[in-house]
């Protein structure tokens, strides 16, 4: 009798989804209710690019089973993001119009306790040629 390992895809949330290449729930940090609150609070204030369907991409993976902290990384692009619009920044370099949202969290691997949260918006367009990052939430917990 042949026994196959059953792999379970991580569960998507209201405001986040996992990319198709993350197929195993054991490869990704667990999203706790506390983390979910930060994701929901930030995401509910944003307007997403149509291709993102109102959700962040949860690109978080456990890289090493012995790591002390897990990094949780989610990103999305905004409606003003456009790789077809090019312009020069103050250094004379050609850049594209960007509007990127990110959520970076760090949790203790053993307990799942949240140690830091950083929610930010990066924008770069002809009005802001050198780019600007707005930190919406920036917290560290002891």
Radius of gyration from C-alpha coordinates of the chain = 18
- Locate the domains of the chain by residue range: 16-140
Residue with tokens 């692009």: 77
DSSP 68-101: SEEEEEEEEE-TT-EEEEEEE-TTS-EEEEEEEE
Question: Given this model, what pLDDT does residue 131 score?
Answer: 95
Each residue's pLDDT tens digit, 61-109: 998 889 999 999 999 999 999 999 999 999 999 999 999 999 999 999 9
């Amino acid at each position: 009798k042949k026994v196959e390992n059953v792999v379970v895809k991580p569960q998507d949330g209201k405001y986040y989804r996992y990319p198709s290449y993350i197929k195993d729930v054991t490869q990704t940090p667990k999203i706790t209710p506390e983390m979910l609150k930060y994701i929901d609070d930030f995401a509910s204030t944003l307007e997403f690019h149509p291709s993102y369907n109102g959700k962040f991409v949860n690109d978080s993976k456990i890289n090493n089973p012995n790591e002390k902290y897990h990094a949780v990384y989610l990103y999305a692009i905004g409606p003003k993001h456009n790789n077809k619009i090019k312009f020069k920044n103050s250094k004379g370099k050609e850049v594209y119009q960007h509007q990127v949202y990110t959520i970076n969290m760090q949790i203790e691997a053993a307990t799942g306790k949240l140690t830091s949260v950083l929610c930010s918006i990066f924008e770069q367009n002809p009005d802001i040629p050198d780019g600007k990052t707005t930190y919406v939430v920036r917290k560290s917990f002891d």
